[in-house]
Amino acid sequence: MLKNKGFILSCLVLGIVVEVCLLRERIGISYLILTALFYMLFFYRYRMYPFTNKRISLLLFFFICTLTLSYFVYSNLFFNTVNLLVIPILVYCHTVLLTSQATIEWNSLSFLDLLGKKLYQMLHCFKISVRLSGRKLRRNIGESTFKTGKKILIGLLVATPLLVIVTFLLLIADEKFADLLFSFPTALFDVDGHFVFTIIKIMVLTTFFYCFFKVLTKKTVVIERRKREIRNWDTIIVTTVLLLMNIIYLLFTIVQFQYFFSGTLEPSLSYSEYARRGFFELMIVTIINYVILIGTVTFMEKKYLPFVKFLLTCLIFFSGVMLTSAFFRLMMYEQAYGFTMSRLFAHSFMIYLAIVFSFTLIKVWATQLKLSHFYLMFTLLFYVGLNIIGLDKMIVSNNIERYKQTGKIDVEYLDFLSYSAVPDIVELHKTHPDIPGLEQLLREKDKAISADIAWQSYNLSRENARQALLKR
């Protein structure tokens, strides 16, 4: 009984920490504190449990720690928003993987089935916990009081949207009524309402963690899916398709080789049209060639003909030509119009595809390799790498170099960058104080940093930005 109370108390503490660290202020060092506390409780609770899949779990744990640490080091709004979803998913996969059967492969459909069943069990546990809490509350306060309170709550839920609509219309219709309504001491009610809402959030989070830890080691039967017998693709048909595709790509590359790599534009094209066309070509080539590659590698006999391997190699080579062409075009576009986050993402995606195609080339000649292992791990590693290389700093540094060469810079876009870009912007202002709008931008950044004083949102990039602004 005492052990169970301690477990519930630890879930309550974790619920309070989540509410304080994630749901109150902008997230910074608070996510690191939350993750550390969560894993302390997790490893303490399951200290005697025989963990499985330790190697892949260790790699996942490294990814989780790195992404969590990025909240403390960087302040990129895009990654901070996406990681609010990515980190919990990785933590869920990591904890389930550690406590699952050793026979389940992490890159199999059986593991996905296990994740789904665990989630269903958690939701079912949550439902049962709420129902039992309701029954206990009913016994404590009495049947009639409970029913009355339930009806009042239903009435409040029904009346709330009607009251909002009616009150809004009456406020517009009568100015004196609006003055009267706003003269009420609403601040007190706001505080009370916020407090009640906070208590509800903590209760929900506590129940969630209780169900999570309860279900995590519960035995879950996962039926291993048998591999269906797949009819192999006909070698002659595949060879014909690959041969025709390669001939088209060869002709296309020969005809437009100078156009791709000369660094000049067609007379009828602008820089934006040139870059957009290149990127859409990349998308089309990626979809078509990648589907052909994966389909051939997956559905043809493992010992397919050396000539087929040669044709696949040519297909990958021509895809590389297209990727290189699009990469150069986007570089020309950036030189003309500046560097932005979306353009760096496009560059990153091209590099990602180039590596994926390279590994697929190895798979073509070494059929024993498993693509799923590589794709999953490399995708995670690549995403984590994007988080920690400091894209904001790269953008502002490249735009400053472009300004020195061309005298052009988009000051308005610099305002959208995170605190990581502020020290470089300050240095730019020192050397070129006459740039229109730059002084105002730094004032706005200084005001934002001064207003952002909550401990939860503390990170190194904000502190570095603060110091740079103080020294300007």
Of the candidates 193, 191, 203, the residue with the CA atom closest to the CA atom of residue 137: 203
Structure confidence by residue, pLDDT tens digits, 271-299: 556 655 656 666 677 778 888 888 887 77
Structure confidence by residue, pLDDT tens digits, 361-388: 888 888 777 787 888 899 999 999 999 9
Exposed e or buried b for every residue in 199-219, given b needs 16+ CB within 10 A?
eeebeebbbbbbbbbbbbeee
Mention every residue, 6+ apart, whose C-beta is less than 8 A from residue 346.
279, 330
Q: Please state, in angstroms and as integers, the Cα–Cα distance from residue 227 to each residue in 105, 109, 222, 292, following that order.
A: 14, 10, 15, 22
Give whichever of 102-106, 258-262, 371-375, 461-465 has the largest mean pLDDT.
Answer: 461-465
Mean pLDDT of the residues in the chain = 82
461: which 2 tokens? Answer: 């990039």
24 or 267, which is more confident?
A: 24
Quick count: other Cβ atoms within 10 Å of Cβ 370? 10
Question: Residue 189's pLDDT band (boundaries 50, 70, 90)?
Answer: very low
Angle, helix 341-365 to helix 371-388, in steps of 10 degrees: 160
Q: How far apart are CA 439 and CA 429, in angstroms?
A: 7
Quick one: pLDDT at residue 191? 47
Exposed e or buried b for every residue in 398-422, given b needs 16+ CB within 10 A?
bbbebbeeeeebbbeebbebbbbbb
Q: How far apart are CA 22 and CA 16, in angstroms?
A: 10
Distance of CA 305 to the CA centre of its chain: 41
Give the mean model confidence (pLDDT) for residues 27-54.
91
SS3 assignment, position 124: helix
Of the candidates 391, 396, 268, 403, the residue with the CA atom closest to the CA atom of residue 335: 403
Q: Determine phi and psi for 48, rounding to 5 degrees.
A: -100, 5
Quick one: pLDDT at residue 175? 67
The answer to whether residue 68 scores a pLDDT higher than 80 is yes
Give whichever of 165-179, 182-196, 252-266 has the largest mean pLDDT.
Answer: 165-179
Of the candidates 84, 100, 92, the residue with the CA atom closest to the CA atom of residue 21: 84
Question: Residue 25's pLDDT band (boundaries 50, 70, 90)?
Answer: confident
Give the mean model confidence (pLDDT) for residues 58-62.
94
Quick one: pLDDT at residue 336? 77
Query: Do residues 110 and 224 lie in contact, with contact meaning Cβ atoms separated by under 8 Å?
Result: yes
365: which 2 tokens? Answer: 């000649």
Extents of the domains making up the chain: 2-125, 235-388, 395-471
Give the mean model confidence (pLDDT) for residues 256-280.
58
Question: Residue 142's pLDDT band (boundaries 50, 70, 90)?
Answer: low
Q: Say which amino acid occupies 388.
A: I
Of the candidates 341, 236, 252, 330, the residue with the CA atom closest to the CA atom of residue 288: 252
What pTM, to 2 d.p., does this model score? Answer: 0.81
Structure confidence by residue, pLDDT tens digits, 94-118: 999 998 877 778 877 788 888 988 9
